[in-house]
Structure 1
Amino acid sequence: MLDSLPAIPLWVVADKGYASNAMRERIWDMGARPAIPAKRRDGLVACPKWA
């Protein structure tokens, strides 16, 4: 899904279903910032409150 974007976004916003360190790392590697809240069982991650 990320590879089909027409350009590199500033932010990638997703729901908790996509919350994983691998997904966040992939987003950082493409030059964007992840806005994915942590799952309840996971520790805190940096995520804007608006997400």
Structure 2
Amino acid sequence: AALEKSIPLRRIAKPEDIVGAIVFLASDDADYITGQVISVSGGLTMAG
């Protein structure tokens, strides 16, 4: 419960929340992206 309260979206990620980033990174649309960290954290990373 405490972890959920610390996440701005107020819930733990579900697989379907993560899959969009994975599909994008595996696609030709991401062919020029290198050395990046893409946070899929529900805002937790930005909240500090």
Q: Flag whether TM exceeds 0.5 (same fold).
A: no
TM range (shorter): under 0.3
Q: TM-score, normalised by structure 2?
A: 0.24
Q: Which structure has greater helix proportion?
A: 2
Question: Which protein, 1 or 2, shows the higher relative CO under an 8 Å CA cutoff with sep ≥ 6?
Answer: 2
Q: TM-score, normalised by structure 1?
A: 0.23
Q: Which structure has greater strand proportion?
A: 1
